Structures are given as C-alpha cells and as structure tokens.
Amino acid sequence: MTAIDPLQPQATPRIAVGSTNPVKVAAVAAVVRRVAPAALVQGVAVASGVPDQPVGDEETQRGAATRAAAARAALDADIGVGLEGGVVDGPEGMRSCAWAAVSLRDGRAFVGGSLAMPLPPRVAELVRGGTELGHAMDQLTGADNTKHGAGAVGILTNGLIDRQRAYEVLVTYALAPVLAPDYWGAADAALRP
C-alpha cells in the first residue's frame, strides 16, 4: 500500500474540519495553506461523541479524534481535522485544555495539543455547575458568543493570543507526522512513495 502525501505544495488536498465554527475552520485553513496553498478546506457539523463540555485531556482528545474521523468520512476528504476544547480540574484549580486530531484517508490518525491555561475562579465555579466554558466566558465578560471570536484564551490573555492562533499551533502539532514524515520511523517511511 502506498500513501499519497496529501500536503504536497502542488496537491489540491480536501481537508474536512469537524466543525462549522469559523475560528476552527480558519485555523485549519491557515495552517494547511502554508504548505498546500490550493487546499480545499471545508467545515462540516459532526458529533464529538463527548459532552458539550469535555472534562479531562482524555475525553477532550477523544472528542477531537471522533470529530476528525467523522468529518473526513462525511466529506470523503483526504484529511479530517477535529478540534475540541475542554477543562481539567485539579488541586491547583481549573485549567483549559484543547486538542487537535487528524484522520488521514490511509487510516493513520494523530493528536496534538494541549492549550493549558489557568481559568479564573468564577469561570471554574460556573463550569463545575454545568456551564460550558464558552458560555461561562460570555457571563464573565457580558459579551455574546465569545467562543466564535477571541475565546477564553483571547480574553484571558488580554488579546496577546486569540483562539484562532492558539488552534493553529494545535493543528500544526497534530499534523507533525504528515509535515515531517521522515522522523516517524521506518514503518511510516515504507508507506510513502
């Protein structure tokens, strides 16, 4: 079996993003188009298979991986990408986490992340009470639909980094085995033309 490198600059890969959230779609497009400028990037609504507010890195990774595989299948894409944000509650307080997963047509899958940032006590209290992080940030700021804009990361870093740029890093991490395949061992090298 020979795998095709879907991110060759001359290729026109089809990339499916497991969300219609414009921030997530833009983050994937920004990363992919750096290496494959002709890439077709499209968002599609798919289920994550986890609660609206995932708790813990494992559950959040599972949501990202489920979204990646479902998006790839739904659009018959070369690569599916899933992004999932969650929270981790520990002795030091609550922090954010976010993970990206990619699902390739040849069956390989990879995960990259995590966006770990402390969350304010009021936000942690709301999340522990069942409020999704994005809605908790809306309540904290008095704004509406912040997760489709700067997100918690943009608000809590006072704009130093926004949600899209944070997600671009995660997508790049998840794509590392595709971007630099020579470092993933003889087994993967044998799959390449």
Q: What is the mean pLDDT of residues 32-40?
A: 93
- The pLDDT tens digits for 84-131 are 999 999 999 999 999 999 999 999 999 999 889 999 999 999 999 999
The CA distance from 189 to 14, in Å, is 23
Q: Is pLDDT at 192 greater than 50 in this prediction?
A: no
Mind listing the pLDDT tens digit for each residue in 1-13?
234 466 665 568 9
pLDDT range class, residue 187, cuts 50, 70, 90: very low
3-class DSSP state of 28: helix
Residue 57 sits at φ, ψ, to 5 deg, of: -60, -40
Phi–psi pair at 44, nearest 5 degrees: -145, 135
d(CA 186, CA 188): 5
Residue 182 pLDDT class (50, 70, 90 cuts): confident
pLDDT, tens digit, 9 for 90 and up, residues 127-144: 999 999 999 999 999 999
pLDDT at 160: 94
Beta-sheet pairing, 109-113 with 93-104:
antiparallel
- Work out the percent of the chain whose per-residue pLDDT is above 90: 79
Share of the chain above pLDDT 70, in %: 90
For 54-101, give the DSSP string.
-BSHHHHHHHHHHHHHHHHHHHT-SEEEEEEEEEEEETTEEEEEEEEE
Q: At what angle do helices 163-179 and 22-35 cross, to 10 degrees?
A: 40
Give me the residue spans of the domains in the chain: 14-115+166-181
Other residues' Cβ atoms within 10 Å of the Cβ of residue 53: 18
Kindly state the average pLDDT of the residues 56-75: 98
Residue with tokens 């609504």: 45
122: which residues sit within 8 A by CB, 6+ positions away? Answer: 136, 140
pLDDT at 189 over 50: no
Query: What is the assigned CATH class of domain 14-115+166-181?
Result: alpha beta
Average pLDDT over residues 66-76: 98
At 101 the pLDDT is 98
